[in-house]
Structure 1
Amino acid sequence: MALLVEAAREVGEIALACKARGLEITEKADGQGPVTDADLAVDARLHEILRAARPGYGWLSEERPDDAARLAHEHVFIIDPIDGTRAFIAGDNTAWAHSLAVTRNGVVTAAVVFLPAKDSLYAAARGSGATLNGAPIRATTRAGISGAKFLAAKPNYAPANWLGPVPDVARHYRPSLAYRLSSVAEGRFDAMMTLRPSWEWDIAAGALLAEEAGATVTDRTGGPLRFNAPRPLLDGVVAAGAALHAQILSRLDPDAPRDSLPPLRD
């Protein structure tokens, strides 16, 4: 975790410097959204720092071609250099983050989510709890779904996703999935969910933060999250305190159609 913290803080300075001098923006192939020179610079520096420190670890990152060799590694770095690139481009300093995680045999063991513009650094190591800027954080223990504060995009509330009426919850949104999970870990929101397929690099770090803060984190059907898959997509994510999480799953339709397209980048 100490290695991830040091790396996250260093690349935070890189991202802010790129933003200050003006971003170079291009579009990814296949409609996967924009990428900036900051995304690429952050990815390059993280690869340099982390692989130098742990040369025997595999690597999975949004901004680097996937290498199947990672599947043979016990430990793997799973990285999103900038989660919430569109918000980063737009100048919304509350909604983008660096997301860094280490997995061992498919399970996240250490994680950092850093919002450099807010100087908010969330960190967790498995079995050691979660912190925000060094102070312990806890997810809420709210049990009732009605009125709960949810972080989710509008399509998640489509009636087709639910058994019976759509729950009457307080709807909120943040572009970065890593930040949504961190906000549940912090207890600022009661739950987050995304019901479409989700890339591992968007989820890995925030999932451990939420778990170590006392939340239950699963895929959309209640299944466990496993990482470093050959195709690194998860079947959605639901995170909340145990009682609320159970209520959410009891209301979601497990047979609702999945989006047939890969998830678009935030």
Structure 2
Amino acid sequence: MPESDLAAEVAHIAADAGRFAIRLWNTDFRRWEKSPGNPVCAVDLEVDGMLRYRLGELLPDAGWLSEETIDNAARLDAERIWVVDPIDGTRDYLRGRPGWAVSVALVERGKPVIGVLDAPARQEVWTAEAGKGAFRNGERLCVAARDQLGGARVPADQLSKVDRDLVMVAKPNSIALRIAMVAAGEADLLATIRWGNEWDIAAAVLIAEEAGAAVSDAFGRALDFNTPDAQAFGVLATAPGIHTAAVERLADRAKDAIGKG
């Protein structure tokens, strides 16, 4: 199957998953915590099963990594792997807020090559293919042309004193959608300083990169996917003109955070 046809089929499958999730949104489904502060619901698991079956039919030889599936080290031997979060932003899903999305990425040799975020509650479909650009609802995305860190827009609920020169903008619970905001030029900077999971960011990282954003871990290093622990320390997605300054600002906090981990 040509790569462009494959990308279209992935978007179609993600859209079916999104339609299923939104039909059940705000209904009486089972919900619980996998661990304290880590919510999950029955819809997460049903969407995960649907995606695994449909994507598995599409590429039977591809590995699988998902938030809602027990990890299998066999994925490390796969040249291509699906990296999936069936509902990224589960807290917003549970609260009846629109900041959630179905996240699907195809990773090849450690790098995302297809990324889709289907966000039906926001009526948004974000797509990207490596080397072919990023799009929201069919319109090409381009990162903002900011070259000063001061005044940069950040999706956040609050800012520390040292970051008061930044500007808060609305923050969806989904980190994938927050990264996508940088891709769309609706934010200039998204940063986390903690260990995070590959399934949260794989699709969004490709979308941001294809829109011209600079993307790295919290220390400014390149992100790799399908790693043994399926984690990275932080993610930093910015307008390219402020990435170096953002890395420098985060450096001491990142060192302290990783030292405590």
Q: What TM-score does the superposition give when structure 1 sets the normalisation length?
A: 0.90
Q: 1:51 aligns with which of 46, 49, 56?
A: 56
The change in CA–CA distance for 1:198 and 1:225 in structure 2 (over 3 A counts) is same
* TM-fit CA distance, 1:152: 4.2
Matches of 1:43 and 1:87 in 2, distance apart?
18
The AA in structure 2 aligned to 1:91 is G
Shift in Å, 1:16:
1.2
Correspondences of 1:56-71 after superposition (within 5 Å): 56-71=61-76
What's 1:204 paired with? 202
List gaps (5 residues or longer) in structure 1: 160-164, 262-266
Partner residue of 1:264?
A: none
Query: Is residue 153–residue 194 contact of structure 1 (8 Å, CA) maintained in 2?
Result: no
Q: Distance in 2 between matches of 1:31 and 1:71?
A: 29
Query: Alpha carbons of 1:259 and 1:204: their partners in 2 closer, same or farther (altered >3 Å)?
Result: farther
Alpha carbons 2:26, 2:96 under 8 Å: kept: no
Q: 1:190 aligns with which of 181, 184, 188?
A: 188
Dislocated runs of 4+, deviation >4 Å? none
1:114 and 2:112 correspond: no
Question: Matched residue of 2:224: which SS?
Answer: coil
**Paired position in structure 2 for 1:258:** 258
Is 1:79 the equivalent of 2:73?
no
Quick check: 2:213–2:240 contact (8 Å CA) kept in 1?
Answer: yes
Specify the alignment match of 2:4 in structure 1.
Answer: none
CA distance in 2, matches of 1:195, 1:252: 8
Does residue 137 (structure 1) correspond to residue 141 (structure 2)? The answer is yes
Structure 2 counterpart of 1:180 = 178
Aligned to 1:5: 11
Q: Secondary structure at the match of 2:163?
A: coil
- SS of corresponding position for 2:194: coil
C-alpha separation in 2, matches of 1:147 and 1:44: 43
Matches of residues 154-173 of structure 1 in structure 2 within 5 Å? Answer: 154=158, 157-158=159-160, 165-166=162-163, 168-172=165-169, 173=171
Q: Does residue 124 of structure 1 match 2:128? A: yes
User: Which structure has the higher relative contact order (CA within 8 Å, separation 6+)?
Assistant: 1
| SS at structure 2 position matched to 1:23 | coil
Give the Cα–Cα distance (whole angstroms) in 2 for the partners of residues 59 and 158 of structure 1: 38
* Alpha-carbon shift at residue 24 of structure 1 (Å): 1.3
Structure 2 equivalent of residue 233 of structure 1: 231
Identity of counterpart residues, as a percentage? Answer: 35
Amino acid in structure 2 at the alignment position of 1:197: W
Partner of 1:15: 21
Distance 2:112 2:157 in 1: 25
Cα displacement string for residues 225-249 of structure 1 (whole angstroms, at most 9, x for unaligned residues): 0000110111101111211111111
Cα distance in 2 for residues equivalent to 1:11 and 1:256 = 39
Q: Distance in 2 between matches of 1:190 and 1:107?
A: 23
In the other structure, the counterpart of 1:88 is 93
CA deviations over 1:46-91 (Å, ceiling 9, x no partner): 0010001100000000001001100000000000000111110000
Which residues of structure 2 form unaligned runs of 5+? 1-6
CA contact 2:26–2:94 (8 Å) conserved in 1 = no
User: What TM-score comes out, normalization by structure 2 length?
Assistant: 0.92
Aligned mates of 1:32, 1:102 — CA distance in 2: 28
Matched letter for residue 168 of structure 1: D
Question: For the structure 1 residues 230 and 32, does the alpha-carbon distance in structure 2 shift closer, same or farther, using more than 3 Å as the test?
Answer: farther
Aligned residues: 252
Q: C-alpha separation between the residues in 2 aligned to 1:211 and 1:256?
A: 28
Q: Is 1:244 paired with 2:249?
A: no
Is the counterpart of residue 146 in structure 1 residue 144 in structure 2? no
Contact 2:183 2:213 in 1 (8 A): yes
Aligned residues of 2:79 and 2:109 also touching (Cα < 8 A): yes
